[in-house]
Amino acid sequence: MTTSMDFKRSLIGMAVVATTAIALTGCSSDQGGEGGGEVDIEMQTNFGATDPSLKVLQKITDAYEKDNPGVTIELVPSTDTYEADIKVRLSSNDIPDIWATHGWSLLRYSQFLEPLNDQPWAKNFNEALAPAMQNADGQFFALPIDTDVAGIVYNRTVLKDAGIDPTTLVDWDSFEAALKTLKDDGITPVSASGKDSWFAGNITDFIGSGDFSESELNGFKDGTFDEKGYTRILDHISAWQKAGWFNPDYSSATTDDLGRALAEGNTAFVFVQNYLVATALGFNPDADLGYMPIPSENGKPFLVGGEGRAYGVSKTSPDKEQALDYLAYLAEPDNLSQLASSIGGIPGLTNATSDLGVLTASYDAFVEPGTVPLQPYFDRVYLPNGIWDTMVTTTDGVITGQMSPADAVKQMKSSYDSLR
């Protein structure tokens, strides 16, 4: 995957400030309260309360409200049950005015969202996102803040000190040999969060995106759950658990804890999107971090991605026009550039630029040449809606040693069959 955007070089200047739900007040010059009456817009951000990107979003929203007196934008931080919370809100017709679509603007939420392809900024939509976000009629339903390109986040200094070249970790044998080396050197090889309930599923999802053959993937789409292939993935995770390659504080660790461990050189690898780098740099601005392709069974490493951070507007919102106006403000090049940079991602609009900072080296090595395939997230394409929670709990069970891979696969297959 390539892009012509000019990427700058410094992510380190981002501040890390714990931010809670923010109620901001004011009124649009040509909309909102100037005609008498306040406009209150709820925005489900899907940014955690301590996520540095939430502070950036707050700053931009402050500026919007200053220009639009009478408009209140309530920025709501994410919970650990964000996906389930949104599902409940939609089913009960208690729909937020704006919400983060977490990869599902087209496949899951488009029926609830206002089409955005006719918005003034839509001409700058990054066509690389079309397969994930655009329907057959050319409609898309969320403003893409960034294009999600992810792999395994790692501490470059830790690997260098252990004599490990991440470009050589192309299959699971070489990756697991590196994990053993790190453990022998007193470094936690892989860190994950059992406290943040979604995290375990990320590991299986990342691996599954590129660890099945084309025929096996087509089987998932056609109603055949590949028990053998899924067992193979969980066998690797189980082996890491038995070898003590996961962080000992897995059950209590939060995502912030992982950022600190990564920044301080206490862990090497984290299966997570690139936003964790911003969190880590808040603990240690000098940390040398990057991301690498995910190894595969066949020795052909890959990256995962598609729709990144994106926001849609409810088509039934009583303040839909004001919400669209605010979204257009976020889409302005300077504002979108700030947001994409805070996430550490490639902008979702072509007239914006992104300050990748320490991630520039990874982008230049693995993304810019276009030689490493970008695979869609496994669960979004090949698994039925609603199976994510089972994916999380079964992977968590394997990491904690409370479930065998066989038991976890049995539970996943049962959930797959019932949801289909």
With CA atoms as reference, report the closest residue to 347 among 331, 356, 361, 336: 336
| pLDDT recorded at residue 9 | 33
Is the same domain home to 139 and 128?
yes
Is the pLDDT assigned to residue 309 strictly greater than 70? yes
Is the pLDDT assigned to residue 339 strictly greater than 50? yes
* Residue 123 resides in a domain: yes
* Residue 283 resides in a domain: no
With CA atoms as reference, report the closest residue to 257 among 186, 187, 194, 340: 194
Is the same domain home to 130 and 173?
no
* Residue 298 resides in a domain: no
Is the same domain home to 192 and 323?
no
Is the same domain home to 121 and 235?
no
Q: What is the crossing angle of helices 333-343 and 52-67, to 10°?
A: 160
Is the same domain home to 31 and 140?
yes
pTM of the model: 0.76
In whole angstroms, give the CA distance from residue 279 to residue 273.
12
Can you tell me the mean pLDDT for 193-221?
Answer: 94
Is the same domain home to 215 and 234?
yes
- Chain segment 162-183, per-residue pLDDT in tens: 999 999 999 999 999 999 999 9
Task: Report the alpha-carbon angle 138-208-405, nearest 5.
Answer: 145
* Residue 285 resides in a domain: no
* Residue 296 resides in a domain: no
Beta strands of 97-187 (E only): which ranges?
98-100, 143-144, 146-150, 152-155
pLDDT-derived band at 20, boundaries 50, 70, 90: very low
Task: Give me the CATH number covering residue 396.
Answer: 3.40.190.10
Of residues 131 and 192, more confidence is placed in 192
Is the pLDDT assigned to residue 160 strictly greater than 60? yes
- Chain segment 25-62, per-residue pLDDT in tens: 333 333 444 444 699 999 999 999 989 899 999 999 99
| pLDDT recorded at residue 37 | 64
Is the pLDDT assigned to residue 412 strictly greater than 90? yes
Task: List all residues 6 or more positions away from 364 whose beta carbon is below 8 Å from its beta carbon.
Answer: none
Expressed as residue numbers, the domain containing 188 is: 152-272+383-419
* Residue 15 resides in a domain: no
In whole angstroms, give the CA distance from residue 390 to residue 398.
12
In whole angstroms, give the CA distance from residue 294 to residue 302.
5
Is the same domain home to 67 and 187?
no
| pLDDT recorded at residue 376 | 87
Is the pLDDT assigned to residue 374 strictly greater than 70? yes
- Chain segment 276-295, per-residue pLDDT in tens: 998 999 999 999 999 999 99
Is the pLDDT assigned to residue 3 strictly greater than 60? no
pLDDT-derived band at 380, boundaries 50, 70, 90: confident
Is the same domain home to 135 and 185?
no
Answer yes or no: are the C-beta atoms of 284 and 155 closer than 8 Å. no
Is the same domain home to 27 and 142?
yes
Is the same domain home to 41 and 84?
yes
Counting the structural domains of the chain, the total is 2
Is the same domain home to 158 and 262?
yes
* Residue 369 resides in a domain: no
In whole angstroms, give the CA distance from residue 367 to residue 14.
23
pLDDT-derived band at 156, boundaries 50, 70, 90: very high
Of residues 371 and 32, more confidence is placed in 371
* Residue 280 resides in a domain: no
With CA atoms as reference, report the closest residue to 243 among 294, 175, 308: 175
> Helix %, strand %, coil % for the chain, to 5?
45, 15, 40
